[in-house]
C-alpha cells in the first residue's frame, strides 16, 4: 500500500517535472502555458470584480457573511472544477450566494466562469483528491443525535446554514457532491476556518452524520426556476416621479428602516430603489419598483442616476455588504441623499412587503 503511494507520488512529481520542462523547452509548450496564465489572470480580474466583496480579495473568505474560504487548501483539495462551475452558475438559492450564469439571469458567460474556476484551482497547492463515491451506509437517526450535539450551533437544525457557516443541505450542494466529499470535510475540517475536524468521532459516527445530511435530499426542493426576460436598464428609474420627497429618519446616518420605505411608497413619495445584488436575484424577486443596480456595475451605471436630490435607496440580501458598497460609492460621487434599506431583502420578504419579479419567458 505504502509502496503504491510512494510510487504514485513519485510518478506524479516526475510527470509534473517533465511537463514543466517540456513547457519551457518547446514553442508550443510556451504558447500553451501563456494561454493558461492569461486565462487565470482574466479569471482573477473577474473574481475581484464579482466575488471579492464577500469571499475576500485573496479568497480568504468571510469578507461578508458566511461566504466560505474559496482559497482554503482543505477545500481546494476536494473542490473539483465541475463542482466550482456548478456552484458559481446556479448559486445557493435562499443564501446571499447568487446564481452568476447568464442562463440563470446573472452577468457571467461560460468563458468567464471557466476563467474564475481556473483562477481558484490555481490557488491549490496540493493535487485534487478523487473523493470516494461510496454511499454512506450510516444510520440517519443516529446521525441526527450527533448532529444535534456537535454541528447544530453553526449549521442549524436542518443544516440550512447560519450567519457563521454555509448550508450543507441545499439541494444544489447535495446534488453536486459525493459522500466522500462530506466524509472528508467532516473528518479533516478546514484548517484556519471555524470548521474543525471530527476524526475523533470515529468513522461509524461520521457515516451516520453523512446519512443524516443526505436524508435532507428526500425533502422535495423548490421546482426548477423558469427562464426570465433579461433585466431592464435604468429608464423609468424614479418611482412616483411627481410625488413629494419622503422624510426619512436614518439610523447612524445611513440606514433607513424598511417600514419607513414601505410607508413612503404607499404614500406615493418620489424615490429610487436600487437592487444591489446580482441581476439573477432581481429576476427571481425584488422590492416592487426597484431596478437592478448590481454592486459590480457602479462605474457603468452611476451616470444614469438623477442628480437632483431625489432619495436613492439600495438594498441586498447579505444583509448590507453589497448595498453598503453601493451607498459608499454613490456618496463618494456626491449623491448625499442615499441610504441602505436596513436588513434588506430578508426583512422585506419576512414582513410581506410588496415585491415583484421579472417577466417569465413562456416555455416553448
| Helix axes of 2-25 and 27-50: crossing angle, nearest 10 degrees | 100
Query: How many residues line the site for ligand HEC (CB under 6 A)?
Result: 49
Window 181-240: residues binding ligand HEC (CB under 6 A): 182, 185-186, 190, 193-195, 198, 209
**Rounded-to-integer distance, Cα 187 and Cα 31, Å:** 41
Find out whether 256 and 272 touch, Cβ atoms under 8 Å.
no
**Rounded-to-integer distance, Cα 167 and Cα 161, Å:** 4
Site string for ligand HEC, 140-179 (x = CB under 6 A): ----------xx-xxx-----x--xxxxx-x--x------
Question: Minimal distance in Å, beta carbon 332 to ligand HEC?
Answer: 20
Asked if 51 is part of the footprint of ligand HEC (rule: CB under 6 A), the reply reads yes
- Sole residue written with cell 454541528: 151
Question: Minimal distance in Å, beta carbon 231 to ligand HEC?
Answer: 17
Tell me the window of 51-59, 216-224, 234-242, 340-348 that interacts with ligand HEC (CB under 6 A).
Answer: 51-59
**Rounded-to-integer distance, Cα 183 and Cα 144, Å:** 15
**Rounded-to-integer distance, Cα 128 and Cα 73, Å:** 10
Question: Minimal distance in Å, beta carbon 340 to ligand HEC?
Answer: 14
Window 52-71: residues binding ligand HEC (CB under 6 A): 53-55, 61, 64-70
Find out whether 275 and 292 touch, Cβ atoms under 8 Å.
yes
Asked if 95 is part of the footprint of ligand HEC (rule: CB under 6 A), the reply reads yes
Instruction: Indicate the residue among 211 and 238 with the shorter CB distance to ligand HEC.
Output: 211
Residue 92: exposure state from Cβ atoms within 10 A (0-12, 13-18, ≥19): middle
Tell me the window of 90-98, 123-131, 255-263, 340-348 that interacts with ligand HEC (CB under 6 A).
Answer: 90-98
Instruction: Indicate the residue among 72 and 338 with the shorter CB distance to ligand HEC.
Output: 72
**Rounded-to-integer distance, Cα 37 and Cα 26, Å:** 17
Tell me the window of 16-24, 80-88, 227-235, 340-348 that interacts with ligand HEC (CB under 6 A).
Answer: 80-88
Asked if 322 is part of the footprint of ligand HEC (rule: CB under 6 A), the reply reads yes
- Sole residue written with cell 447544530: 152
* Residues sharing a CB contact under 8 Å with residue 301, sequence separation 6 or more, in sequence order: 234, 293
Question: Minimal distance in Å, beta carbon 314 to ligand HEC?
Answer: 13
Q: Is the dihedral of CA 317, 270, 107, 353 positive or negative?
A: positive
Please give the residue ranges that form the binding site for ligand HEC (CB under 6 A): 50-51, 53-55, 61, 64-70, 72, 75, 84, 87-88, 92, 95-97, 100, 116, 150-151, 153-155, 161, 164-168, 170, 173, 182, 185-186, 190, 193-195, 198, 209, 318, 321-322
Amino acid at each position: 500500500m505504502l509502496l503504491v503511494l510512494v510510487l504514485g507520488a513519485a510518478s506524479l512529481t516526475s510527470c509534473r517535472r517533465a511537463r514543466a520542462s517540456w513547457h519551457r523547452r518547446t514553442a508550443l509548450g510556451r504558447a500553451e502555458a501563456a494561454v493558461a496564465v492569461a486565462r487565470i489572470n482574466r479569471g482573477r480580474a473577474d473574481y475581484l470584480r464579482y466575488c471579492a466583496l464577500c469571499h475576500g480579495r485573496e479568497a480568504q473568505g468571510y469578507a461578508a457573511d458566511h461566504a466560505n474560504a474559496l482559497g482554503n487548501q482543505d477545500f481546494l483539495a476536494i473542490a473539483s472544477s465541475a463542482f466550482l462551475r456548478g456552484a458559481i452558475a446556479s448559486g445557493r438559492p435562499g443564501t446571499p450566494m447568487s446564481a452568476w450564469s447568464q442562463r440563470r439571469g446573472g452577468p457571467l458567460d461560460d468563458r468567464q466562469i471557466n476563467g474564475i474556476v481556473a483562477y481558484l484551482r490555481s490557488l491549490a497547492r496540493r493535487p485534487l483528491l478523487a473523493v470516494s463515491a461510496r454511499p454512506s451506509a450510516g444510520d440517519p437517526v443516529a446521525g441526527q443525535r450527533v448532529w444535534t450535539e456537535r454541528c447544530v450551533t453553526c449549521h442549524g437544525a436542518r443544516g440550512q446554514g447560519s450567519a457563521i457557516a454555509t448550508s450543507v443541505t441545499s439541494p444544489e450542494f447535495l446534488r453536486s457532491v459525493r459522500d466522500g466529499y462530506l466524509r472528508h470535510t467532516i473528518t479533516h475540517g478546514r484548517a484556519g476556518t471555524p470548521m474543525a475536524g471530527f476524526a475523533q468521532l470515529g468513522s461509524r459516527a461520521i457515516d451516520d452524520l453523512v446519512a443524516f445530511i443526505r436524508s435532507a435530499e428526500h425533502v422535495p426542493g423548490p421546482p426548477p426556476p423558469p427562464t426570465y426576460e433579461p433585466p431592464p436598464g435604468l429608464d423609468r428609474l424614479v418611482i412616483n416621479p411627481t410625488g413629494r420627497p419622503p422624510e426619512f429618519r436614518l439610523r447612524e446616518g445611513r440606514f433607513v428602516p424598511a417600514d419607513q420605505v414601505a410607508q413612503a411608497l404607499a404614500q406615493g413619495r418620489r424615490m429610487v430603489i436600487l437592487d444591489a445584488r446580482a441581476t439573477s436575484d432581481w429576476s427571481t424577486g425584488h422590492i416592487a419598483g426597484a431596478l437592478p443596480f448590481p454592486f459590480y456595475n457602479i462605474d457603468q451605471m452611476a451616470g444614469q442616476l438623477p442628480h437632483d436630490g431625489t432619495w436613492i435607496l439600495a438594498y441586498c440580501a447579505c444583509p448590507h455588504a453589497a448595498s453598503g458598497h453601493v451607498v459608499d460609492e454613490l456618496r463618494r460621487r456626491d449623491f448625499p441623499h442615499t441610504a441602505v434599506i436596513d436588513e434588506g431583502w430578508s426583512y422585506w420578504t419576512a414582513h410581506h412587503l410588496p415585491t415583484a419579479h421579472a417577466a417569465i419567458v413562456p416555455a416553448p
